[in-house]
Amino acid sequence: MKTLNIIKSILIVIMATLFLSSSANNLTIDSVKVIGAAAATTKQIEFKIGWAMAWRMITQPSNHDAVWVFVKYKDCGSNRWTHVKLNPSAAAHSADFPLEVWADTSVQAGKIDSNGVFVRLSRPDTSCTISNKKVTLEMNNLAPGEHDYRVFGIEMVYIPRGNFYLGDGGATNTFKNGNTNNPFLVTKEFDTIQWANLLGRLYSSGNVLNVGLTAAIPAAFPKGYAEVYCMKYEVSQGQYVDFLNTISIDQAATRAYTGGLWRNTISGNWPNYASVTPDRANNYMCWADLCAYLDWACLRPMTEFEYEKICRGPINPVQGEFAWGTNLIQNMTTVVLDGTTAERCTDAIPGGYGAANYVWVAPQGPYRVGIFSSTTTSRREAGATYYGVMEMTGNIDENVISIYSGVAPFNQGVNFTRKLGNGELSFTPTPGYTTQTSWTNGTLPDGTGAADRGVMFKGGGCNSAAANCQVSARLGGYNYNRAYNTGGGRGVR
């Protein structure tokens, strides 16, 4: 398993014939240009990409990292941003060696949407630095005329298909195999899972998250067995600023938090929101905020099943384990170079312990994403999951889909499907919400009480007790459809 020390998102602005570039830590996208006549509905967009410690493993965990790349353009007259459709065939795109462009075409998972591509290594490598490699993408169905373009990239980690366990053998507040305390083995994706307090059925030792579940988890519910790409890091403040600045002014007014509390530094007004700590995980992010961001980026929320798979992988669980695979946790509180791209913690990490930001001690708030990982850290020291995903224990409470209940109106969680975002948000009279009505209560106004029972926090945050940070803990299934000082998350595709 290899990990990246820093970063997440980058945007490039192309204004008519003027091409500007910017970079953000280890992921860079620059030298952008659009090829094609103004009246053409098909054009190419070309850019250079780079990131550190790219990997593609053919041995366990048999996975790789990648960059999810998507494009948006702004109409110069209306200032409205539109998501760009890319050619769905990977053969229509190109990348310099050792990279390749991959377009996900899984019909069963509904991923043929032309809303973006993955850029990844084309050959095995345990770690390499990608620098200044050209990528060319074909854009389709463009409106004729002059537009401003932006190219976005989000670092992702590939999670392969395969069996995994739900629950860790704990006696309380975890999934289990029926009337035992043993973990439950998930062996299929597009099939139902029977729910009962009987051996061979999925059950839970905690009742608060299982009101009215009497039959089965539907076949369409994402169970974690299937392959998926997961964001390597929690949504950062810089990523969220990019989002706010490329939606409409009324949409941004609904979604922006500029209170300046608990290490959140987003400030300003549309279309010039900014953060002086763009690499810090974004807090004060309610469920509706996360759904809107993921819809805009053409990702989707993850489920609590997928969360456990991404943390644990295919191996046997350890009772009370955290994301790095042991039940020992070290709170990292000595922060140096705070607020910079080199922010790190200098605390010693005893043998067997993993690094995390939890239990609300100074500096009280989220850290830079990927803060614990470096070229020399182990999985434990980096606080990484089996597959190399960062900070799934601590830092930010991550909003995920819960199976909570089979009884309306609380059953939107268990009835969630893997439908992806389409890059567009709602307009007047309720601007700034996801347009994916099947996403669990993502269209409810912030703070809409008890109807939001299909969502839960996983992994704990910077103010959580250790028990809430455990991979299998199912303790946070209440109303979180309001901004919360440690709330945030990430998406999958």
Query: Is there a single domain that holds both residue 130 and residue 173?
Result: no
Q: Treating both helix axes as pointing N-terminal to C-terminal, what angle do 287-296 and 237-245 enclose, rounded to 10 degrees?
A: 70
Q: Which two tokens stand for residue 28?
A: 């860079």
Cα Dmax for the chain? 66
| Domain stops at, among 159, 177, 201 | 159
Determine the pLDDT at residue 404.
78
Query: Is there a single domain that holds both residue 411 and residue 471?
Result: yes
- 390 within domain boundaries: yes
Amino acid making up residue 135: V
- 3 within domain boundaries: no
Q: Which domain holds residue 88?
A: 9-159
Burial class (CB in 10 A: 0-12, 13-18, 19+), 438: middle
Determine the pLDDT at residue 482.
61
134: three-class secondary structure by DSSP = strand
pTM over the 0.85 mark: yes
Closest CA to 1 of 41, 56, 42, 45: 56
Query: Is there a single domain that holds both residue 121 and residue 216?
Result: no
pLDDT along the chain (493 residues), means of 10: 36 37 64 94 97 93 97 92 96 98 74 92 95 98 92 98 97 92 97 94 77 80 97 97 98 96 97 98 94 98 98 98 99 98 97 98 96 93 98 96 78 90 95 93 68 81 96 75 83 98
> For residue 286, what are the CA distances in angstroms to 63, 205, 441, 481?
31, 28, 12, 5
Query: Is there a single domain that holds both residue 118 and residue 220?
Result: no
Query: Is there a single domain that holds both residue 174 and residue 117?
Result: no
Determine the pLDDT at residue 112.
77
Determine the pLDDT at residue 22.
35
- Whole-number Å distance between alpha carbons of 386 and 406: 31
Query: Is there a single domain that holds both residue 98 and residue 236?
Result: no
User: Given CA atoms 351, 357, 363, 366 in this order, what sign does their dihedral have?
Assistant: positive
Beta-carbon neighbour count of residue 95 at 10 Å?
21
- 373 within domain boundaries: yes
Beta strands 65-75 and 43-56 are: unpaired
CATH of the domain at 27: 2.60.40
Closest CA to 206 of 409, 470, 395: 470
- 38 within domain boundaries: yes
Determine the pLDDT at residue 9.
38
- For the chain, how many structural domains are there in total? 2
| Domain stops at, among 118, 133, 159 | 159
450 Cβ partners below 8 Å, 6+ apart?
410, 479
Long-range pairs, 315-320, Cβ under 8 A, ≥24: 315/386, 316/165, 316/183, 317/165, 317/167, 317/168, 317/169, 317/183, 317/471, 317/472, 318/168, 319/168, 319/169, 319/170, 320/168, 320/170, 320/470
Determine the pLDDT at residue 207.
59
Q: Name the β-bridge partners of 256.
A: none
User: Given CA atoms 323, 306, 437, 119 in this order, what sign does their dihedral have?
Assistant: positive
Beta-carbon neighbour count of residue 133 at 10 Å?
16
Burial 378-397 (b: 16+ CB within 10 A, else e): ebbbbbbbbbbbbbbbbbbb
- Whole-number Å distance between alpha carbons of 229 and 414: 21
- 55 within domain boundaries: yes
Query: Is there a single domain that holds both residue 372 and residue 469?
Result: yes
Query: Is there a single domain that holds both residue 125 and residue 220?
Result: no
145 Cβ partners below 8 Å, 6+ apart?
38, 39, 75, 76
